[in-house]
């Protein structure tokens, strides 16, 4: 499922790239030239990137890579990174004026791993400021357009990453997902987006939003590419204290066209309830029929507690954000405008007034309010209890079932300007993705088909560390789509 910007050469999957380059090293240069032709032609409209590396620099790195002979699992793939992932020597703005000219002195762990595995960084992608949003319209710079329809949003907050991959302006990308920011844009752009189990991928070098929820993950044009990238970026990292100590890897081998087990699949009724567009419902039920025709059993279960998860998510995310964003004071981090203030509170106030956008300010204020004395118990503590109960419900559910599926988003991609002024509508796009982050579960969005010419994503999720079976089921949805 590719939009019209893609050419055959520019849409080469990683495994094919790896094989072709091994046979004929010059193929890598041809491929890079073609991706940059697509970028030159379409990027002026799409605006997926904040910082794009010059072609000559990228070709130079490709040459060095070929000389080293260590093509690795990525084989010269062009990797786009969301602009909240730290890159040594490359500006990392977080979509914010506050970090407009910030150049990190170190690479995030995922970036080091990409480089060691034969990946070439192509650029840094647009995002909602500090990853707060669902449409990429909260970027301080400009909105990104959806390659399938330039009047529509690509989703957010990793909208630039998803648009770049969908339009073949990169081989794959990394995004971050606090409440759906990888899966929602994947759903709206017809790409595959995977949010790993909390702790599976290191957060070292990821600019924090809600630290107990944030995870980095791949956005790709096919399930196999997502698995290859997950193999590269996952694993224990002593620099992230929440990193899991588990043996991981071998995700690629789960990407096969037949179920590796007769998975018991569940649909949670609350995830297909009120607010679900009929176009989305149509695609989703076709996908379920295909799964059943392949001999998989699909059952329905109710989980009433899910009603509270969106509110619990926004309380916890804003509380953590208000604390995480305190460091942007113009001294440690952030812009340093001409300040003549005599008192530090004036200086602090001016830096933050000038550096942060409207949505970020609103969330810092709400987060501080939620955590204030006398209100903490009623908001934060209650949300934390909902989170715990939700986790326990999921544990019970996954004793009976192997995997669950749902629509990723209840709607088709909104038009630019359509939901951004209506926080309730905007927040409700995250209704099916946020419970996953609260419970720390892995989840993937895979295209289920088109409705009115627009992509519709299906979310596949499961218990902690079920990435293998999730990739397997997603692959089955991917192959049955074109049948
Ligand atoms: N839309 C959600 C929010 O604004 C999720 C964002 C994300 O996952 N980074 O918080």
The tens digit of pLDDT for each residue in 181-208 reads: 999 999 999 999 999 999 999 999 999 9
Closest CA to 478 of 351, 334, 319, 290: 290
Mean per-residue pLDDT, 221-242:
98
Residue nearest to atom 10 of ligand 1 (CA): 132
251 has pLDDT over 80: yes
Is the Cβ–Cβ distance between 168 and 5 less than 8 Å? yes
Catalytic, out of 82, 115, 124, 290: 82
**What percent of the chain lies above the pLDDT cut of 90?**
93
Cβ proximity of 145 and 416 under 8 Å: yes
Predicted local confidence at residue 118, as pLDDT: 98
Kindly give the distance from the C-alpha atom of residue 308 to the centroid of ligand 1, in angstroms, as a whole number.
17
- Say whether 157 is catalytic: yes
Q: Which of 276, 273, 260, 261 is nearest to 300 (CA)?
A: 273
> Do the beta carbons of residue 446 and residue 480 sit within 8 Å?
no
Q: Is 385 a catalytic residue?
A: no
- 341 pLDDT band, cuts 50/70/90, is low
Identify the band that residue 337 occupies on the pLDDT scale cut at 50, 70 and 90: low
Please tell me the residue having the least CA distance from ligand 1 atom 5: 179
Say yes or no to pLDDT of 463 above 70: yes
The total number of structural domains that make up the chain: 1
pLDDT in tens, 410-435: 999 999 999 999 988 999 999 999 99
What is the per-residue pLDDT for 335? 80
> Could you write out the three-class secondary structure of the chain?
CCCCCCCCCCCCCHHHHHHHHHHCCHHHHHHHHHHHHHHHHHHHHHCCEEEECCHHHHHHHHHHHHHHCCCCCCCCCEEEEECCECECCECCCCCCHHHCCCCCCCCCHHHHHHHHCCCEEEEEECCCHHHCCCCCCCCCCCCCCECCECCECCCCCCHHHHHHHHCCCCCEEEEEECCCCCHHHHHHHCCEEEECCCCCECCCCECCCCCCCCEEEEEECCHHHHHHHHHHHECCCCCCCCCCCCCCCCHHHHCCCCCCCCCEEEEEHHHHCCCCCHHHHHHHHHHHHHHHHCCCEEEEECCHHHHHHHHHHHHHHHHHHHHHHHHECCCCECCCCCCCCCCHHHHHHHHHHHHCCHHHHHHHHHHHHHCCCCCCHHHHHHHHHHHHHHHHHHHHHHHHCCEEEEECCCCCCCECCCCCCCHHHHHHCCCCCHHHHHHCCCEEEEEEEEECCEEEEEEEECCCCCHHHHHHHHHHHHHHHCC
Q: Mean pLDDT throughout 349-370?
A: 96
Range of the domain at 338: 1-483
What's the pLDDT at 344? 82
Q: Quote the ligand 1 centre to 430 CA distance (angstroms).
A: 8
Assign 248 a pLDDT band (cuts: 50, 70, 90): confident
> 9 C-alpha vs ligand 1 centroid, how far in Å?
34
Strand order in the sheet with 454-461: 49-52, 120-125, 78-82, 172-177, 215-220, 192-195, 443-451, 454-461, 403-407, 264-268, 297-301
Spacing, Cα 330 to ligand 1 middle (Å): 25
Q: In this predicted structure, what is the pLDDT of residue 150?
A: 98
Q: List residues bridging with 259 in a β-sheet.
A: none
Tens digits of residue pLDDT in 13-72? 999 999 999 999 999 999 999 999 999 999 999 999 999 999 999 999 999 999 999 999
**pLDDT band with cut points at 50, 70 and 90 for residue 237:** very high
**pLDDT of residue 464 exceeding 90:** yes
What contacts 24+ positions apart, CB below 8 Å, involve 327-335? Answer: 328/98, 328/99, 328/352, 328/355, 328/356, 330/355, 333/98, 333/99, 333/102, 334/98, 334/99, 335/97, 335/98, 335/100, 335/101
Mean pLDDT of all residues in 235-255: 96
pLDDT for residue 440 is more than 80: yes
Residues having CB within 6 Å of any atom of ligand 1: 131-134, 157, 177-181, 209, 317, 430
What mean pLDDT value characterizes the chain? 96
- With the most atoms of ligand 1 within 8 angstroms of its CB, the residue from 125, 132, 216 to mutate is 132
CA atoms within 13 A on the CB side of 301: 19
User: How far separated are the first and last CA of the chain, in Å rounded?
Assistant: 13
Say whether pLDDT at 122 is over 80: yes
Q: What is the mean pLDDT of residues 125-154?
A: 98
Q: What is the predicted pLDDT for the residue at 439?
A: 98
Atom of ligand 1 nearest to the CA of 134: 1
- The alpha carbon torsion through 144, 140, 81, 66 (nearest 10 deg) reads 90
Q: Which of 73-82, 280-289, 344-353 has the lowest mean pLDDT?
A: 344-353
Express each pLDDT in 55-105 by its tens digit.
999 999 999 999 999 999 999 999 999 999 999 999 999 999 999 999 999
Cα dihedral sign, 140-145-146-149: positive
Q: Is 480 part of the annotated catalytic residue set? A: no
CATH number of the domain where residue 270 is located: 3.90.1300.10
Averaged over 372-377, what is the pLDDT? 95
Query: Residue 172 pLDDT > 80, yes or no?
Result: yes
Is 332 exposed, middle or buried, given 0-12, 13-18 or 19+ CB atoms closer than 10 A?
exposed
Tell me the pLDDT band of 302, cut-offs 50, 70 and 90. very high
Confidence check: pLDDT of 339 > 80: no
Residues near 234 by beta carbon (within 8 Å), at least 6 away in sequence: 196, 200, 201, 248, 249, 251
pLDDT level of residue 311 (50, 70, 90 thresholds): very high
Task: State the catalytic residue, choosing from 157, 158, 176, 445.
Answer: 157
pTM for this predicted structure = 0.98
CA of 131 to the centre of ligand 1 (A): 6
């Amino acid at each position: 499922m590719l939009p019209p910007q893609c050419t055959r050469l520019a849409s080469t999957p990683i495994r094919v790239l790896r094989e072709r380059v091994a046979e004929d090293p010059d193929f890598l240069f041809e491929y890079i030239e073609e991706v940059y032709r697509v970028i030159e032609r379409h990027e002026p409209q799409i605006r997926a990137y904040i910082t794009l590396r010059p072609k000559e620099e990228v070709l130079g790195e490709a040459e060095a890579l070929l000389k080293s002979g260590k093509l690795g699992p990525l084989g010269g793939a062009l990797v786009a990174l969301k602009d909240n992932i730290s890159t040594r020597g490359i500006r990392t703005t977080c979509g914010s004026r506050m970090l407009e000219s910030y150049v990190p002195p170190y690479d995030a762990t995922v970036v080091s791993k990409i480089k060691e595995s034969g990946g070439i960084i192509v650029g840094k992608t647009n995002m909602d400021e500090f990853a707060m949003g669902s449409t990429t319209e909260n970027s301080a710079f400009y909105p990104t357009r959806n390659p399938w329809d330039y009047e529509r949003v690509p989703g957010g907050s990793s909208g630039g990453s998803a648009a770049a991959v969908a339009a073949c302006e990169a081989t794959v990308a990394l995004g971050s997902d606090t409440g759906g920011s990888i899966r929602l844009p994947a759903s709206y752009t017809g790409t595959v987006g995977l949010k790993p189990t909390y702790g599976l991928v290191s957060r070292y070098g990821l600019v924090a939003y809600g630290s107990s929820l944030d995870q980095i993950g791949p956005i790709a044009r096919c399930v196999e590419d997502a698995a290859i990238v997950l193999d590269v970026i996952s694993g224990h990292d002593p620099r992230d204290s929440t990193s899991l100590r588990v043996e991981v890897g071998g995700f690629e081998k789960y990407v096969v066209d037949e179920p590796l087990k007769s998975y018991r699949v569940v649909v949670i009724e609350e995830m297909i309830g009120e607010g679900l567009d009929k176009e989305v419902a149509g695609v989703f039920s076709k996908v379920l029929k295909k799964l059943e025709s392949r001999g998989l059993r699909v059952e329905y279960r109710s989980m009433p507690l899910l009603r509270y998860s969106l509110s619990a998510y926004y309380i916890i995310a804003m509380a953590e954000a208000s604390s995480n964003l305190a460091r942007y004071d113009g001294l440690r981090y952030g812009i340093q405008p001409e300040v003549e203030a005599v008192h530090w509170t004036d200086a602090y106030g001016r830096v933050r007034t000038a550096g942060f956008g409207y949505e970020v300010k609103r969330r810092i204020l709400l987060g501080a309010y939620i955590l204030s004395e006398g209100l903490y118990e009623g908001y934060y503590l209650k949300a934390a209890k909902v989170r715990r109960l939700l986790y326990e419900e999921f544990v019970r559910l996954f004793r009976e079932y192997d995997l669950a599926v749902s629509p990723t988003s209840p709607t088709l991609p909104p038009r630019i300007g359509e939901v951004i002024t209506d926080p309730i509508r905007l927040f409700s796009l995250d209704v099916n993705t946020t419970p996953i982050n609260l419970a720390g579960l892995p989840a993937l969005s895979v295209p289920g088909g088109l409705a009115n010419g627009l992509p519709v994503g299906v979310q596949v999720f499961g218990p902690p560390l079920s990435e293998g079976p999730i990739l397997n089921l997603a692959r089955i949805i991917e192959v049955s789509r074109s049948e």
